[in-house]
Structure 1
């Protein structure tokens, strides 16, 4: 399959500029000796074959993660109703462009409809009923793509900041072993797929310890877990990248692969009364002091962003034997979720590709 992108022919992974003949920086090629480079793809992108960001994704990335298309509320919004159009389109696009597709996500406390946990009268299900519902969903979704999806984020964000299990409805109704069952059901549905646990703020020592305990518990019980995803929603001020490195080393020591997932580095100030991370439930009114770069990013701030990315990628490359994939949460600054979280209407610059869909100048030095 050949794609024409901004005067470049891409064919079988080879890229040639048809206008100048010059080599262009291609992200997946730049880090080919280190790790896979991925991005998140949205519904709007994958359903529009001419979307410039979708074509750019095919050019620069060799793994895809669906932004929302495979979350429970999107793919199974009502009992016995499955909507596979977007997921099918993404699977087909990834296959046509020889990219690995990571399914995201099978079990999560957020973006899961209330009916999942309730009977027809609105009463909470019991343990056996909810386990049965979980198994049916995983069998239906993961089973449909058993030969096409390389790996699954089986469980997403099940830990509190102190490393204990989040008191979600999954945990409250089924118990602490809901994670074990999710991984077992995923293995039954897609026996060839890699199975991952994914969470944010994994650089924090307490949360890191909780993840390590979770991995060890699954392994001790003979339950398949192949990797852990460290979400990387960072800022210019935090976290301390020494803690990020400590977590990479500690997680890899458990014998699983480490993936860097959902990477972006916000340049915007964050309200002091809100906890940084990736809690999608945060939604506060726009305040202009938290949107200082609406008309453009000052060079001095872009240099700060460059320094942060350079420091981070030096760590990633140092530990490339442990890191299988680095996935950005979005293709370009134009459509990053950071523009709308935790305030709608902000203008952020957190990715390596700018609003004009050009690679930023500092990327070559990463």
Structure 2
């Protein structure tokens, strides 16, 4: 029998020549390396799950703790610090070549009530709380000085109408608590990038408030490196033209942005304001809000893939001003959207399904950069 080894050699040549360009073979982080960093939020359990670790190390190059690094996790009791999870996240990041984003230092949620009271249980006054906040930031941020890439210093400080959220931080310290938090964090680690993170930044009044905030803080020599635009989106929300305009508006003011907490819900949209109210939903309404308890129809999966592509086309357009895009979780199974605003809903918002298998949305996001026929127009 005669074998034409020249054809075999040619086959190997073309395989190794074109294999790197196969969309499914190349990791997302490499495909977008000239545009922005591609990150992912991890649950604590992901750090010890082989499937999760494999996906993270293949597709992403930045991580953030979904839980485990917030105030309530780090200081569960007055005067008692527990750095188990922050240490573990940092160790994972350093061992696997990922940047670590600290999330989050100051937030109206996950700030324990006792933090705002003295040892006798009396409410703290402004100067007392400022001292306590600086001590906390010095202890926490200082521990990871030079090792954590950046911090979400303040999270969700504004309402959608641009007014300040009336949190204990605001009520006791005043509106300069945000400025002070950035100042203290910069002093604790001058090498770390500092971010303000919020949802609803497609609303013009909220944009104005955040731009004014950044200008005020920067005018005092305190850095704000970027704004985190939370991307908890759906098939209908937001109006993509408004997202496009929001990124343009920040960039024109010299403010870089990051797309944080990105996921695309396929369920009926419930606004963040309703979520904040802890909506109580009747059983009938619950059924309407949970239309796909067993399987996602192919047509809806296709709509989600299209939506992700549309979003990424906007991100690519503004890649000069977008530092990072971070997905809020690895797989549908553990997404927070399965529990908001109705516990037990079945949502499908991420790039991997409940069996940790890649979805068509992931393939499409890779193809949009690698195929001239499918590129953004």
TM > 0.5 fold call: yes
Further displaced range: 22-31 or 289-298: 22-31
**Cα distance 1:262–1:218, how it changes in 2: closer, same or farther (>3 A)?**
same
Match of 1:38 in 2: 39
Distance 1:33 1:56 in 2: 21
CA-CA distance at 1:55 after TM superposition = 2.8
- Number of matched residues? 341
CA-CA distance at 1:257 after TM superposition = 2.0
Larger Rg: 2
Match of 2:250 in 1: 251
User: 2:183 touches 2:222 (CA, 8 Å); kept in 1?
Assistant: yes
Match of 1:14 in 2: none
Report the secondary structure of 1:224's partner residue: coil
**Cα distance 1:35–1:27, how it changes in 2: closer, same or farther (>3 A)?**
same
CA-CA distance at 1:77 after TM superposition = 1.4
TM-score between both structures, scaled by the size of structure 2: 0.87
Is 1:336 equivalent to 2:332 in the alignment? no
Match of 1:198 in 2: 197
User: 1:41 touches 1:54 (CA, 8 Å); kept in 2?
Assistant: no
- Per-residue Cα deviation, 1:311-331 (whole angstroms, up to 9, x for no partner): 111100011110010001101
**Cα distance 1:63–1:281, how it changes in 2: closer, same or farther (>3 A)?**
farther
Distance 1:223 1:208 in 2: 20
**Cα distance 1:269–1:123, how it changes in 2: closer, same or farther (>3 A)?**
same
**Cα distance 1:291–1:53, how it changes in 2: closer, same or farther (>3 A)?**
same
CA-CA distance at 1:359 after TM superposition = 2.0
Is 1:276 equivalent to 2:276 in the alignment? no
Match of 1:154 in 2: 153
- For CA contacts below 8 A with separation 6 or more, give which structure has more relative contact order: 2
CA-CA distance at 1:356 after TM superposition = 2.2
CA-CA distance at 1:116 after TM superposition = 0.6
Match of 1:356 in 2: 355
User: 2:275 touches 2:340 (CA, 8 Å); kept in 1?
Assistant: no
Distance 1:69 1:279 in 2: 22
CA-CA distance at 1:25 after TM superposition = 3.8
TM-score between both structures, scaled by the size of structure 1: 0.89
Match of 1:143 in 2: 142
Report the secondary structure of 2:272's partner residue: coil
Match of 2:288 in 1: 289
User: 1:152 touches 1:195 (CA, 8 Å); kept in 2?
Assistant: yes
Match of 1:8 in 2: none
User: 2:39 touches 2:63 (CA, 8 Å); kept in 1?
Assistant: yes
Segments of 5+ residues of structure 2 without an aligned counterpart are: 1-21, 366-377
**Cα distance 1:184–1:30, how it changes in 2: closer, same or farther (>3 A)?**
same
User: 2:105 touches 2:137 (CA, 8 Å); kept in 1?
Assistant: yes
Report the secondary structure of 2:345's partner residue: coil
CA-CA distance at 1:365 after TM superposition = 3.0
User: 1:215 touches 1:254 (CA, 8 Å); kept in 2?
Assistant: no
Match of 1:237 in 2: 236
Further displaced range: 279-288 or 170-179: 279-288
Match of 1:260 in 2: 259
CA-CA distance at 1:22 after TM superposition = 10
After TM superposition, which residue ranges in structure 1, 4 or more long, deviate above 6 angstroms? none
Match of 1:17 in 2: none
Distance 1:256 1:358 in 2: 37
**Cα distance 1:35–1:277, how it changes in 2: closer, same or farther (>3 A)?**
farther
Distance 1:357 1:141 in 2: 33
- Per-residue Cα deviation, 1:86-128 (whole angstroms, up to 9, x for no partner): 1101000000111000000111111110011011222210001
Distance 1:283 1:25 in 2: 42
Distance 2:353 2:209 in 1: 36
User: 1:105 touches 1:152 (CA, 8 Å); kept in 2?
Assistant: yes
Further displaced range: 102-111 or 214-223: 214-223
| CA-atom RMSD in angstroms | 1.8
Match of 2:17 in 1: none
Distance 2:31 2:347 in 1: 25
CA-CA distance at 1:254 after TM superposition = 2.4
Distance 1:183 1:259 in 2: 17
Segments of 5+ residues of structure 1 without an aligned counterpart are: 1-20
